[in-house]
Amino acid sequence: MAPTLRPDVLVIGAGPAGSMTAKWAAKRGASVLLLEKRQEIGSPVRCGEGMSKEWLREVGITPGRWINVEVEGARIYSPSEKVFEINEKHAGNEVGYVVERDEFDKQLAIDAANAGVEIRLKTAAIGLLREGGRIVGAKVKQFGETTEIRAPVTVAADGFESQVGRWAGIPTDLALRDMDTCLQYRMTNVDSDVRYCDFFLGKVAPGGYVWVFPKGEGLANVGIGVQVSQVKNLADAKTYLDRWIEHHPGYAKGKKIDMVGGGVSISPPLKQTVADGIMLVGDAARMIDPLTGGGIANGCIAGKICGEVAAEAAALGDPSKAFLQKYERGWRARLEEKLYRNWLAKEKLVTLSDETFDKIVDALAGIRLEKLNVHNILKAVQAKYPEVTQEFAAFL
């Protein structure tokens, strides 16, 4: 039997949100143990690998060799493939990098290790320890051996397929309309443009979109998200993606060298992300942006707050739900309004017809927008297609 470990803070899951939480807890003086169930942090990659960049400084991440391509902008394609370009000038914060996710995750774990965090690989949480209704650590399996790890503060950063939160009694269930089922190929010999991340909207991907994120030298991540409530047949995500590729000669000629899938939550923010002795962070806390499907930035931003509060709770000897609310208030102040706004926007977008998408993108394609926001977009659409804006009365 391995010795019982007693860190101040136990973090389950070494993705970006977990490593961030661990790093910031250690930087604030806590002893931290970070668990990863896989044998390799960052692998296998289950991600489109596109991310914005303006938030990196806020959480103390410095650009490194994990950056694959720095893009100039994004192109939004309507169903008839009219194009609207979003560039750094009017959407600086949404433009960014295509990354090597496995390198990125490893760098964040290295940053955590450098801050003093202990890391255990091949160690899966299989249950929680309870004492008087409070979570006081986890039962883990490491190389086939079961151990109990006691800690005043436990953090669940176990990703989209999170079970830890549910074990703690924190509801994280998703409605079918609040999840996308995703599939992506890494393709070589394709005609992607390294200056842009491309997004294709409409019936090509019901309730979601097709993306092409360039990785340089004819390599690109070509993927799809389909809203689960709009899935009609077995393997729709694959069927729609294969069909899209088939209809785009610049991609149909390519070769697939990798295939990844996964679930992405596109839900409103959870009502509760803490309980006595435990906090949820990142995809496990359904913090993915419901409009873009991006989870890295929000996971890292919340992770910093989570780590700081975890260290403070451990130092004060008060991991009660009441104290941990400080994290709940912190991440909500920073992220909740945008999450909720983007969820509402997503709820609207998934109802639009291909004709409406075409009109919106057409109206935007011909003009120069000073600043990209809902008001300016709708104003532009109103000028050319006044009937379309009636659908958006609630947003004006």
Residues in touch with another protein (CB under 8 A): 37-39, 44, 46, 159-163, 166, 173-174, 176, 179, 181-183, 226, 228, 231, 233-235, 237-238, 259-263, 265
Strands 32-35 and 255-265 turn out to be: unpaired
* Distance in angstroms (rounded) separating the CA atoms of residues 309 and 277: 12
Residue closer to another protein (CB basis): 109 or 361? 109
Question: What are the C-alpha distances in Å from 217 to residues 63, 185, 200?
Answer: 21, 16, 22
* Distance in angstroms (rounded) separating the CA atoms of residues 52 and 337: 18
Q: Determine how many CB atoms are found less than 10 A away from the CB of residue 305.
A: 25
Task: Give the DSSP H/E element, type plus range, for residue 339.
Answer: helix 337-349
Q: In what order do the strands lie in the sheet with 196-200?
A: 83-87, 73-77, 196-200, 209-216, 219-227, 179-188, 255-265
Residue closer to another protein (CB basis): 271 or 368? 271
Residue closer to another protein (CB basis): 226 or 363? 226
Strands 179-188 and 134-142 turn out to be: unpaired
**Shortest Å, Cβ 226 to another protein:** 8
Residue closer to another protein (CB basis): 233 or 351? 233
**Shortest Å, Cβ 176 to another protein:** 7
Residue closer to another protein (CB basis): 229 or 320? 229
Residue closer to another protein (CB basis): 177 or 379? 177
**Shortest Å, Cβ 123 to another protein:** 13
Among residues 355, 350, 231, 238, which one has the least CA distance to residue 290? 350
**Shortest Å, Cβ 15 to another protein:** 12
Residue closer to another protein (CB basis): 260 or 306? 260
**Shortest Å, Cβ 240 to another protein:** 10
* Distance in angstroms (rounded) separating the CA atoms of residues 387 and 52: 33
Among residues 6, 5, 12, which one has the least CA distance to residue 283? 12
**Shortest Å, Cβ 230 to another protein:** 9
Q: What number of CA atoms fall less than 13 Å from residue 206's CA on the CB side?
A: 13
**Shortest Å, Cβ 179 to another protein:** 6
